[in-house]
A and B are shown apart, each in its own frame.
Chain A
Amino acid sequence: MSILLLAEHNGHQLSPAVYKAVTAAQFWNAPVHVLLAGGNSEILQQVASIQGVVRVIHANAAHLAHPLAEDVAKLLVTIAGEYKVIVAAHGSFSRNILPRAAALLDVAMISDVLEIKPDNTYVRSIYAGNIHTTIQSTDALQILTVHSSNFAAAATGENAEITSVEAPAAFGKTRWMSEHHAHSERPALSSAKVVVSGGRSLGSAENFEGVLAPLASKLGAALGATRAAVDAGYAANEMQVGQTGVVVAPELYIAVGISGAIQHTYGMKDSRVIVAINQDPEAPIFQVADYGLVADLFEVVPELVSSIN
């Protein structure tokens, strides 16, 4: 039996996490089919080109232009019979849809899998990443999301078969109204190679931007924030890194004036290199940092900016 991967896209582009989920899906040594709900021909080609994808199943209908959980879950149920695994990259898209599909199929779902093991066994974290558990599913069908930063991105250059499937009629009781995405010149937070994040200590929205943006632009970095900084209105919601925000794993993560609460470190502790700047030598952030600088951020961040080529 095959593996079904649910792909996320934003109407223009395939989510970068899909490439990583394709790598995770190779675990079962079975053909990997990708379901694309909505999306244009360009996205379809992007999926078909991923190495390790055997078939792309495209569901296209007017009501899938902005796919709702109600509609995609029903679509998944109509084709689930052919598969032993339904998998997606963990993110707000899959977290919305897959539990709904799982309940319709009477299957338990396994969220945010760190490692896939033989015999329907998985490692996942609980308590904001403080504990890892190994669990085994007793269901015949496996439904899971994977922690994409734990898997390498699959290469491209293939040309998978493209088929189409008819979408069930629209659910109708939920209507998509609008979306709002911050338009930023900076790279997307979840896939950036470098992330500069700031905390409450920045003190104002003006400082947040004024102190951190020059550093981010020098490094070609995305800007992130703690919940405290977001709650104080210094940074936008979608910039929150952590248990209840975005999970990032860049090459370089620079934490500026961040205490290092577990809810925050959950979202960044898998970064390759972590730098922390904090004036309190006892701040917990130094326990996860590779390089700690005990200093006043308002002095050293500008110095850092002028010292970078």
Chain B
Amino acid sequence: MKILVAVKRVVDYNVKVRVKADGSDVDINNVKMSVNPFDENAIEEALRLKEQGKATEVVAVSFGSAANQDVLRHALAMGADRAILVESPATLQQLGVAKLLKAVVEREQPDLVILGKQAIDDDAGQTGQMLAALLDYPQATFISEIKVEGNGISVTREVDGGTESLALTLPAVVTADLRLNEPRFVKLPNLMMARKKPIESISADSFGVDTAPRLKLLGASEPPARKSGIKVGSVQELLSKLRAVEGIAL
């Protein structure tokens, strides 16, 4: 079984992102970039399936600028066998990425595609479902467990208020929840070794798909802050404020 993992390069989750002075967009110049956290779960799960003898090859793919090499190196250092960088000078939106990913799937013919459940920059959570639609593949989103059984998989999905179990026929697309696993740390020697593993670079144009953005960004702003609160000195003071000021019956 061959597994393809989609790895997005995003602003590190610890960075507090700011808006550009002219309010046109967010300012991500010179901020720390990392692998999207959910995509680390996706890579980790693919590697575990390989270590269990269920998968034979793990291929990581990223879409964007040449800078995305670093997240692919990270995937290789974690243990992916090879990596593909689909280079696009223009901004890509979810539908565009899904179309390019479909082209990569048609070329690579993986049995399983694992994506993150959402990218923590745009918080869209769409690409996996869009890819599954374009391929007419079964899909399982927000998975916290996966088992390979014969020519299928069984998965547990995190849904509002609980979990759901599904059985899917391969090939299939799944998206990883944080709960799927605890990604391994990358050790320095592995990072050195990863430098020797191949990253193939392909131009997005060569796939001949329309990836023009459908959504226009008109502006960005920081949300209005909550009015500043107060510190209370005791439980009694807290309760009297809640009752008298907020009108909450307690």
Task: Assess whether A165 is interfacial by the CB under 8 Å rule.
Answer: no
Q: Is the CB of A130 within 8 A of B222?
A: yes
Q: Is the CB of A182 within 8 A of B162?
A: yes
Task: Assess whether A70 is interfacial by the CB under 8 Å rule.
Answer: yes
In angstroms, how far is the closest chain B Cβ from the Cβ of A228?
A: 12
Task: Assess whether B13 is interfacial by the CB under 8 Å rule.
Answer: yes
- Interface size on B (CB < 8 Å)? 79
Complex partner residue of B169 from A68, A173, A289, CB under 8 angstroms: A173
Complex partner residue of A127 from B120, B157, B250, CB under 8 angstroms: B120
Q: Is the CB of A273 within 8 A of B160?
A: no
Q: Is the CB of A69 within 8 A of B235?
A: no
> In chain A, what residue has the closest Cβ to B10?
A127
How far is it, in angstroms, between the C-alpha of A78 and the C-alpha of B223 when the chains are bound?
A: 39
Complex partner residue of A93 from B127, B159, B226, B234, CB under 8 angstroms: B159
Main SS class of interface, B? mixed
Q: Is the CB of A188 within 8 A of B161?
A: yes
Complex partner residue of B133 from A101, A137, A244, CB under 8 angstroms: A101
In angstroms, how far is the closest chain B Cβ from the Cβ of A67?
A: 11
Task: Assess whether B215 is interfacial by the CB under 8 Å rule.
Answer: yes
Q: Is the CB of A237 within 8 A of B163?
A: yes
Name which of A40-48, A104-112, A199-207 contacts chain B: A104-112
> In chain A, what residue has the closest Cβ to B250?
A308
- Which interface residue of A99, A291, A294 has the most chain B CB atoms within 10 A? A99
Complex partner residue of A263 from B13, B168, B239, CB under 8 angstroms: B13
Name which of A26-34, A153-161, A299-307 contacts chain B: A299-307
Contacts of B164 in A (CB 8 A): 66, 176, 178-180
Complex partner residue of B167 from A95, A108, A112, A177, CB under 8 angstroms: A177
Complex partner residue of A173 from B17, B168, B238, B250, CB under 8 angstroms: B168
Q: Is the CB of A131 within 8 A of B232?
A: no
Complex partner residue of B219 from A101, A134, A238, A294, CB under 8 angstroms: A134
Q: Which residues of chain A in 275-309 are interfacial with respect to chain B, using CB atoms and an 8 Å cutoff?
A: 275, 281, 286-294, 300, 303-304, 307-309
Q: Is the CB of A293 within 8 A of B214?
A: no
Q: Is the CB of A174 within 8 A of B140?
A: yes
Contacts of B238 in A (CB 8 A): 275, 291, 293, 304
Task: Assess whether B129 is interfacial by the CB under 8 Å rule.
Answer: yes
Contacts of A57 in B (CB 8 A): none
Main SS class of interface, A? mixed
> In chain A, what residue has the closest Cβ to B99?
A103
> In chain A, what residue has the closest Cβ to B139?
A69
Task: Assess whether A5 is interfacial by the CB under 8 Å rule.
Answer: no
Q: Is the CB of B221 within 8 A of A132?
A: yes
> In chain A, what residue has the closest Cβ to B177?
A244
Contacts of A177 in B (CB 8 A): 154, 165-167
Q: Is the CB of B231 within 8 A of A127?
A: no
Task: Assess whether B179 is interfacial by the CB under 8 Å rule.
Answer: yes
Task: Assess whether A135 is interfacial by the CB under 8 Å rule.
Answer: yes
In angstroms, how far is the closest chain A Cβ from the Cβ of B81?
A: 27
Q: Which residues of B contact A (CB under 8 A)?
A: 11, 13, 16-17, 19, 26, 93-95, 98, 117-118, 120-134, 137-142, 144, 154, 157-169, 172, 177-179, 214-223, 226-232, 234-236, 238-239, 241-242, 246, 248, 250
